[in-house]
Amino acid sequence: MISGSNLLTLYLGLELLALPTYALVAMKRDSALSTEAAMKYFILGALASGFLLYGMSMLYGATGSLDLDEILKAVGDQRINRLVLAFAVVFIVSGLAFKLGVAPFHMWVPDVYQGAPTAVTLLIAGAPKVAAFALLFRLLVGGLLPLTHDWQPMIMILAVMSLVIGNLTAIAQTNLKRMLAYSTIAHMGFMILGMLSIFDEHAYSAALFYAVTYVLTTLGSFGLLMMLSRKGYECETLDDLKGLNRRHPWMAFVGLILMFSLAGIPPTVGFAAKLSILEALIDSDHLYLAIAAVMASLVGAFYYLRVVKCMYFDEPIQTAPIEGGLIIKTVFTLNGLFVLLCGIFPATLMALCLSAMSTTLLS
């Protein structure tokens, strides 16, 4: 899906990614919550795929090609039917918004995150987000760049709605998986703000950097929940994290690093990622959006710091020993340290993202 340059290839790649995910969500067949989440995910996913395919068909009808390079040339022709292209953009952006989980196409995210087994939730919150961003970039920048004035206002609205709805709703959550789900909605909104610059490799690389660092941080966050779970019991609520510092100080410290990164607090990589997006917004004269993003991040910091407060300042409720082998604890530790080191020395990863975007734009 990421390497495709043809609409059919991109769509097939997307469906090959989505269909197994529906089945994974429904793995707990005896759980009504899991089954309900899988049904919602499947029905809404099919609807979004229909939107995307309908938009692609209209794009093909208007340009006469399925190849992104040919579409890019055809869209720049002033003789083409602009009304059909406008409808195509609406359907394509709507379908992509669902795959990213941004508001108002976010209805499936909290239910799926809560209903799926934690290991499956970790998978859904990880690599598919980077893949969805790559698909968004390929279609909007690689194929529809001359229609920037049509799709950028839509991206702007989606981003602001995601920041507001995601952060405000997450405050009310006591279930950790639902809280991280609404957190994801807000983070995806922050990420797509990088798409508001016109053919700016630095802004696009900032969005890619944000996507990669978000995935690294959220993998560690769900990894913490997995390590605190055991047979017959899943760590899902804030109460389950109370007093973690007394039970396992190192695990609580790594959890603190991850929460600080999600909140965008220095010296973690989340701060560097947010700063790069804000710089891109200011450089493209979207100062008001940068201010709105900062305000939304301040609201979001509340529920991340609440998790830290539970781990460090509350009396423990769970007293069972923390299970997990040496390998999973080592991977979890490396994940947390990588988040910290990339925040202190972000230049290398940023350079890799910029190189990837430069190569893509040149090709």
In a domain, 331, yes or no: yes
Split into its structural domains, the chain has a count of 1
CA 363, 127, 72: angle at the middle one, nearest 5?
30
Confidence bin at 209 (pLDDT 50/70/90): very high
pLDDT score for 324: 67
Percentage of the chain modeled with pLDDT above 70: 98
In a domain, 95, yes or no: yes
Question: Going by C-beta distance under 8 Å and a sequence separation of 6 or more, which residues neighbour residue 60?
Answer: 7, 66
In a domain, 1, yes or no: no
The average confidence (pLDDT) of the chain is 87
Confidence bin at 6 (pLDDT 50/70/90): confident
In a domain, 183, yes or no: yes
User: First CA to last CA across the chain, in angstroms?
Assistant: 17
As given in the structure block, the two tokens for residue 226 are 């997995």
Is the confidence at residue 204, as pLDDT, over 70?
yes
| Gap between the Cα atoms of 248 and 310, Å rounded | 13
| Gap between the Cα atoms of 55 and 62, Å rounded | 11
In a domain, 2, yes or no: no
pLDDT score for 232: 65
Question: Which uninterrupted H or E stretch holds 110?
Answer: helix 108-115
Q: Which structural domain range is residue 228 located in?
A: 7-362
One-letter identity of residue 1: M
pTM exceeding the 0.85 threshold for the entire prediction: yes
pLDDT in tens, 290-340: 999 999 989 888 999 999 998 888 888 777 667 667 888 888 889 889 999
pLDDT score for 318: 72
The Cα-based distances of 59 to 68, 135, 180 in angstroms read: 10, 16, 36
pLDDT in tens, 83-135: 888 899 999 999 989 888 888 888 888 989 888 888 888 888 887 888 888 88
pLDDT score for 114: 87
